[in-house]
Structure 1
Amino acid sequence: MVKIGNIELPDFPLLLAPMEDVSDPPFRRLCKQHGADLMFSEFISSEGLIRDAIKSRQKLDIFDYERPVGIQIFGGDEEAMAMSARIVDAVNPDLIDINFGCPVKKVVCKGAGAAVLKDVDLMVRLTKAVIKSTSLPVTVKTRLGWDHDMINIDEVAERLQDIGVQALSIHGRTRAQLYKGEADWSHIARVKNNPRITIPIFGNGDVDSPEKALEYKDKYGVDGIMIGRAAIGYPWIFDEVKHYMKTGEHLPKPSVSDRVEAARNHLKWSMEWKGERLGIVEMRRHYTNYFKGIANFKEFRTKLVTLDFPEELFGVLDEIIDSYSGYQFA
């Protein structure tokens, strides 16, 4: 069993990574149904929460069927992080996660996300401000360092543990790499094998198959794996990894009907949560991933990303099942 504060997770838990414009409640609900053990909100700007920005506040929505679930915040100002932690505390997630890993320019330019890796003293102050402002367990997601010449994850891990961080998720790339090249898990393994480190260490980066999940578990000795991009349009990855680790065998690939059902639920839940119009529009980015690999699909994809009414979209999804009955994936 893996423990984060008073949260009990199964042996070798699988975590859904917080992803901007992806890890919202409808998507998290699908991943929970398919085996995710711990999930996180999209990352939320501490400044946005304090300003009462509608989009930031909406990201605080969590539901009991998701638990355990964490809310992730980011920022570069101690007072703002403390205030936002108190706001998050009031909606009662299971934990608060701090993002010190986001590499995108608009976040880094504000001195937040991965930018904080250049100033570990600031990282410690920001984290202390959050810990002092909440009764919830506080965890951190970060990267190896700013660039190849500044890989400082060993110092980061020790100092964060020393001030009370209760788990650490490490993406095996530097900020300079963005999402290019291969994630280097050897640095994550070194943190895990540091005798001073007693908190759970979760690895993240490039896990996109059951085989790779098992290989990384055995090779690097982490306490669990965080999966991000491989789950987009494919929430079955969690069930597949668990089944393979338990049996050494593969689950059957989700059929066209399985994919339609997931897309239909995702669309329905998005409309319920965001409102009909926004739910339909924001769902458009997901269809390509749900139906990836299906031959001669362009006509259906075009309809899914252009039609504007729920009954039309659900009709297209029914057509897909009829047209691809018995379809075998390569």
Structure 2
Amino acid sequence: MRIGPYKLNNNLVLAPMAGVTDRPFRQLCKQLGAGMAVSEMVSSNSLLWGSEKTKRRADHTGETEPKSVQIMGADPKMMAEAARYNVDNGAQIIDINMGCPAKKVCNVAAGSALLQYEDLVQDILEAVVGAVDVPVTLKIRTGWDTAHRNGVRIARIAQESGILALAVHGRTRACGYRGDAEYDTIAAIKQAVTIPVIANGDITTPQKAQQVLAKTGVDGIMIGRAAQGRPWIFREIGHYLKTGETLAEPSVTDVRDILLGHLHNLYNFYGEYTGVRMARKHIAWYSKGHRHGAAFRQAVNRVDSIDAQLKMTEDFFERLQQDIQQAA
């Protein structure tokens, strides 16, 4: 799959997720098979550009290319400025958020709320495309609500405005994350445009990935929540699409090693105080479904030092390994 001058290693993309797709997680998913990873959304509000939080979100130091930064806002001029700012700071692709269903985003008429205002959508897209010399991509939903599924019209506006790839979450804004993803609507969007279309929503297994590609005819797939605690899902999907074979589940030792590497990268990126706190959600996701997981999560969330968090994590996986050996 190609986006402008960038030929991706494959057609598997990590979805942008606020509070999740920081540089350590993006790098990990790329190492484990994602062809591209999109940053957490960065507000177009210029007052926020100088904050440490915003700087970290747009930090791509040492990251494999292409470096894609997602921006969010509702004012065309501010969005154009935000695009220029991020390109000046290393972004190689600008992604525009018109898919986020969160109330705090939609209440300021940004994210998926913009889908209600097709003229404004066009103004924003044209302003951003005109402001930078790098590819601009767009993330949308199928519409505002089930009575207003205007994803096909938005896709045509996007293509006419110079957008070079389109990711579609198969639900309306009103649906949030409830119900089943609308692959029929995504298929209709794919048929309406010639730019690459990437399907997102409910893709949790290699088999489902293959089914969605076949049903919708899209060029790629985007994985979000299914990669939380399972970043190797990209490797599994890539292998299955190439060979038709299902990779074996990673061993307890493999999971431990991936998680410990992830934790060390979080500590290096954020420092001890924030790193330990950011790590808690990831530890919870990795340990989900394992024996003793609930008690472990309850205990590990109470510690606030790197040494204590690492020791408890190592002890947890050692206990899992002992259980396996005893059962054998």
- TM-score w.r.t. the length of structure 2 is 0.95
**Alignment of 1:105 onto 2:97:** no
Percent pairwise identity? 40
Shift of 1:55: 1.6
Map of 1:18 onto structure 2: 16
Give the 3 Å change call, closer, same or farther, for CA 219–326 of structure 1 in structure 2. farther
Map of 1:315 onto structure 2: 311
Say if 1:48 and 1:56, in contact at 8 Å, map to a contact too. Answer: no
Tell me which of 26, 46, 63 is aligned to 1:65: 63
Tell me which of 218, 222, 232 is aligned to 1:222: 218
How is 1:275-290 mapped onto 2 (pairs within 5 angstroms)?
A: 275-290=271-286
Tell me which of 188, 197, 203 is aligned to 1:201: 197
**What secondary structure sits across from 1:22 in the alignment?**
coil
Gaps of 5+ in 2: none
Say if 1:50 and 1:84, in contact at 8 Å, map to a contact too. Answer: no
Q: Deviations over 1:17-74 (max 9, x none)?
A: 0000000011112111110001110011101566533322221101333322200001
Give the 3 Å change call, closer, same or farther, for CA 294–51 of structure 1 in structure 2. closer
Q: Deviations over 1:286-315 (max 9, x none)?
A: 212101111223332233211222222222
**Alignment of 1:262 onto 2:258:** yes
Say if 1:43 and 1:72, in contact at 8 Å, map to a contact too. Answer: yes
Q: Which amino acid aligns with 1:163?
A: S
**What secondary structure sits across from 2:139 in the alignment?**
strand
Q: Which amino acid aligns with 1:162?
A: E
Q: Distance in 1 between matches of 2:143 and 2:214?
A: 24
Map of 2:41 onto structure 1: 43
Q: Distance in 2 between matches of 1:83 and 1:291?
A: 41
Q: Distance in 1 between matches of 2:48 and 2:122?
A: 21
Map of 1:8 onto structure 2: 7
Say if 2:48 and 2:54, in contact at 8 Å, map to a contact too. Answer: no
Tell me which of 49, 52, 55 is aligned to 2:50: 52
Aligned length: 325
Q: Distance in 2 between matches of 1:268 and 1:48?
A: 32
Q: Deviations over 1:74-123 (max 9, x none)?
A: 10011211111110110222200000111111000111101110001101
Q: Distance in 2 between matches of 1:51 and 1:264?
A: 31
**What secondary structure sits across from 1:97 in the alignment?**
strand
Give the 3 Å change call, closer, same or farther, for CA 294–140 of structure 1 in structure 2. same
Q: Distance in 1 between matches of 2:118 and 2:278?
A: 37
Q: Distance in 1 between matches of 2:81 and 2:323?
A: 53
Moved over 6 A (4+): none
CA RMSD of aligned residues (A): 1.6
Shift of 1:276: 0.9
**What secondary structure sits across from 2:221 in the alignment?**
strand
- TM-score w.r.t. the length of structure 1 is 0.94
Q: Distance in 1 between matches of 2:57 and 2:91?
A: 12
Gaps of 5+ in 1: none
